[in-house]
């Protein structure tokens, strides 16, 4: 099912061991030479990169997430399968009011990169991705949802949508068949799935989400790896230049095994996706029994899109074996502030140092749609009995996107001039006091000092990780790899690469946007001033 035509050498990924749980993190893996390892085509040297647990890093994984390398994916749909994709999404919208249908369609794929690697895979699962606001049909339609066709009965045009490839989908093969077993065990890039996220047309700086995740990783925190790719769709010979996408490493069982390893009994911990869905914001306040009793629209459990709603706390691993006590106990103990020595109790359920680092990086990233601002878009993984926060969905940050805190001319633009202990939320549905993971941690002076020290360290003008030069370099690398092709082939989506021309549709509440350079400069200056103020008051 796979043909690898040429594999060239790739550079090693980096990891760092840090944090109070000795978390395997994203800076500082060792690369050694050994027999039978990947051979460098230019030097002849054989190199092996290993994770902290001793497992080797797949060279295809390294190549995929090498941002200095060109990547291209072509997806081949049969007309029948593409028509079924549209049919299923339209029917789901008719029944539930959104296009969030997760029915898997079959595609073939071809991957090519700048190192000369070419891979062809057949019978790969495809589905669209996105929330109720961002997920749309991938074809043109009118305001009433009617699909538009030309005079020949072909689709009139196409829209960019985010999507996921599933390399281990078994389709309708019987469980005891050779095909089922081969597909079930298949990995590509050492992944079971891969996410493709379209870049919003107003983000001409292109690398915003990549830069945000890289800040988390540079701080030694566990966060998805990312890169860029150009995408083409081929629908029974009709080629659609589908645009530039951010590739995002999925947060799933493969992810937690990669970064955390396995328990001594070869199991892994519970992974929870926490998002603002039908039940409301994912504040981590303690739930009522009826929020997970299976008798209605539960807020916590195993989500099933066929029910037409999503849970706020969705279990992603151990779905058949978990009793959900990891999250339920965490919520109960997090909110039980009357217990004797609550601070010790807090340290027993939360990797506090990792969380304080996360708060610092998140404040610098300035995503209004994360936990601290909107009780949304994060994962919790339970590792060695403690919760570890994993960031998710950072396409609106670093001075661009949704700006609920005011226009650029206002004091609170994009969280730039917000005090480091600000107590506002992006929406009025809940208040700052409803966020126990922030309020209950930052009530302690020594934790405040650690948080402040991380902010000051990360914005150090000499060697801090919050550095516009890194963003600038990432941008110009991307521009050199993709801009010409996107324009010459008339791709969908963003084609203008500019650090100055960020814009926003007039229908949005705020039309002002900051350049990335202004954001980094102003944010760092205000953060350092805010830290110095709190250290002396």
What digits encode the pLDDT tens for the residues 352-381?
Answer: 999 999 999 999 999 999 999 999 999 999
The pLDDT confidence band at residue 255, using thresholds 50, 70 and 90, is very high
Per-residue model confidence (pLDDT) at position 9: 33
Reduced to 3 states (helix: H, G, I; strand: E, B; else coil), residue 209 is: helix
| pLDDT of 268 above 80 | yes
Asked whether 139 and 153 are in contact (CB, 8 A), the reply is no
Distances (CA, A) of 9 to 48, 61, 66, 190: 11, 12, 11, 16
* Averaged confidence pLDDT in the chain: 87
The pLDDT of 228-250, averaged and rounded, is 98
Reduced to 3 states (helix: H, G, I; strand: E, B; else coil), residue 81 is: helix
Burial class (CB in 10 A: 0-12, 13-18, 19+), 463: exposed
The pLDDT confidence band at residue 515, using thresholds 50, 70 and 90, is confident
Q: Give the ranges where 304-366 is alpha helix by DSSP (H).
A: 325-335, 342-349, 352-365
Q: What is the C-alpha separation between 147 and 299, in angstroms, rounded?
A: 34
Per-residue model confidence (pLDDT) at position 99: 87
Per-residue model confidence (pLDDT) at position 330: 97
Per-residue model confidence (pLDDT) at position 137: 94
- HSE toward the beta carbon, residue 492, CA cutoff 13 A: 21
| pLDDT of 53 above 60 | no
Per-residue model confidence (pLDDT) at position 147: 93
| pLDDT of 332 above 50 | yes
The pLDDT of 267-290, averaged and rounded, is 94
**DSSP state string for 104-155:** -EEEEEEEEETTS-EEEEEEEEEEE---TTT---SB-B-TT-PBPB-TTSSB
The pLDDT confidence band at residue 130, using thresholds 50, 70 and 90, is confident
| pLDDT of 32 above 90 | no
Higher pLDDT, 44 or 66: 66
Q: Which residue has the tokens 């990360």?
A: 458
CA proximity to 135, closest of 169, 92, 166: 92
| pLDDT of 63 above 70 | yes
Q: What is the C-alpha separation between 336 and 348, in angstroms, rounded?
A: 13
| pLDDT of 41 above 50 | no
Q: What is the C-alpha separation between 18 and 26, in angstroms, rounded?
A: 10
| pLDDT of 249 above 90 | yes
The pLDDT of 146-162, averaged and rounded, is 94
Q: What is the C-alpha separation between 200 and 278, in angstroms, rounded?
A: 25
| pLDDT of 439 above 90 | yes
The pLDDT of 216-243, averaged and rounded, is 98
**Tokens matching residue 486:** 């996107």
| pLDDT of 505 above 70 | no
Q: How many CB atoms lie within 10 A of CB 517?
A: 16
**Tokens matching residue 343:** 């601070």
170-190 burial, b at 16+ Cβ within 10 Å, e below that, comes to beebeeeeeeeeebeebebbb
The pLDDT confidence band at residue 52, using thresholds 50, 70 and 90, is very low
Per-residue model confidence (pLDDT) at position 10: 33
The pLDDT confidence band at residue 405, using thresholds 50, 70 and 90, is confident
Least confident range from 16-20, 233-237, 262-266, 343-347: namely 16-20
**Domains in the chain: boundaries:** 2-64, 71-208+225-253
State what percent of residues in the chain have pLDDT above 70.
86
Burial class (CB in 10 A: 0-12, 13-18, 19+), 50: middle
pTM for the full predicted model: 0.89
Distance of CA 475 to the CA centre of its chain: 19
| pLDDT of 25 above 60 | no
The 8 Å CB, 24+ separation contacts for 296-302 are 300/324, 300/327, 300/328
| pLDDT of 507 above 80 | no
Per-residue model confidence (pLDDT) at position 55: 62
State what percent of residues in the chain have pLDDT above 90.
72
| pLDDT of 7 above 50 | no
Least confident range from 51-55, 195-199, 244-248, 511-515: namely 51-55
The pLDDT confidence band at residue 48, using thresholds 50, 70 and 90, is very low
Per-residue model confidence (pLDDT) at position 489: 97
φ and ψ at 230, to 5 degrees?
Answer: -95, 145
Per-residue model confidence (pLDDT) at position 49: 46
Reduced to 3 states (helix: H, G, I; strand: E, B; else coil), residue 389 is: strand
């Amino acid at each position: 099912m796979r043909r690898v035509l040429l594999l060239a050498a790739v550079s090693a990924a980096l990891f760092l061991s840090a944090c109070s749980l000795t978390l395997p993190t994203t800076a500082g893996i060792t690369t050694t030479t050994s027999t039978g390892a990947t051979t460098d085509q230019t030097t002849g040297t054989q190199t092996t990169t290993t994770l902290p647990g001793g497992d080797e890093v797949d060279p295809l994984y390294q190549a995929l997430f090498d941002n200095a390398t060109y990547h291209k994916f072509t997806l081949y749909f049969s007309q029948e399968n593409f028509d079924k994709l549209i049919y299923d999404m339209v029917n789901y919208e008719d029944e539930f009011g959104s296009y969030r249908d997760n029915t898997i369609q079959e595609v073939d794929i071809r991957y090519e990169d700048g190192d000369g690697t070419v891979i062809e895979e057949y019978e790969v699962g495809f589905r669209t991705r996105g929330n109720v606001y961002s997920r749309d049909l991938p074809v043109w339609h009118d305001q009433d949802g009617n699909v538009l066709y030309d005079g020949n009965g072909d689709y009139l045009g196409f829209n960019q949508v985010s999507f996921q490839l599933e390399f281990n989908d078994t389709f309708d093969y019987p469980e005891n068949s050779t095909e089922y077993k081969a597909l079930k065990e298949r990995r590509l890039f050492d992944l079971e799935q891969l996410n493709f996220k379209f870049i919003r047309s107003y983000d001409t700086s292109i690398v915003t989400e990549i830069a945000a995740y890289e800040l988390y990783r540079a701080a030694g925190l566990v966060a998805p790896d990312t890169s860029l790719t150009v995408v083409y769709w081929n629908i029974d010979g009709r080629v659609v230049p589908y645009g530039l996408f951010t590739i995002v490493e999925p947060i799933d069982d493969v992810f937690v095994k990669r970064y955390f390893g396995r328990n001594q009994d070869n199991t892994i911990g519970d992974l929870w996706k926490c998002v603002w869905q039908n039940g409301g914001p994912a504040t981590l306040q303690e739930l009522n029994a009826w929020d997970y009793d299976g008798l209605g629209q539960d807020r916590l459990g195993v989500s099933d899109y066929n029910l037409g709603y999503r849970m706020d706390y969705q279990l992603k691993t151990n779905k058949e074996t978990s009793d959900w006590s990891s999250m339920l106990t965490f919520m109960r103990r997090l909110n039980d502030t009357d217990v004797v020595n609550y601070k010790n109790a807090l340290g027993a359920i939360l990797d506090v140092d990792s969380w304080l680092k996360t708060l610092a990086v998140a404040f610098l990233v300035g995503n209004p749609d994360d936990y601290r601002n909107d009780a949304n878009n994060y994962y919790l993984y339970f590792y060695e009995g403690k919760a570890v926060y994993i960031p998710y969905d950072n396409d609106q940050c670093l001075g661009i996107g949704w700006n609920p805190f005011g226009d650029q001319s206002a004091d609170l633009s994009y969280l730039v001039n917000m005090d480091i202990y600000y107590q506002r939320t992006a929406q009025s549905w809940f208040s700052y006091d409803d966020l126990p993971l922030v309020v209950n941690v930052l009530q302690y002076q020594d934790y405040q000092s650690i948080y402040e020290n991380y902010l000051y360290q990360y914005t150090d003008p000499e060697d801090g990780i919050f550095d516009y030069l890194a963003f600038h370099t990432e941008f110009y690398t991307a521009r050199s790899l993709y801009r010409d092709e996107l324009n010459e082939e008339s791709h969908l989506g963003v084609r203008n690469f500019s650090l100055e021309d960020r814009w926003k549709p007039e229908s949005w509440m705020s039309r002002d946007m900051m350049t990335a350079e202004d954001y980094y400069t102003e944010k760092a200056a205000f953060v350092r001033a805010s830290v110095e103020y709190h250290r002396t008051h």
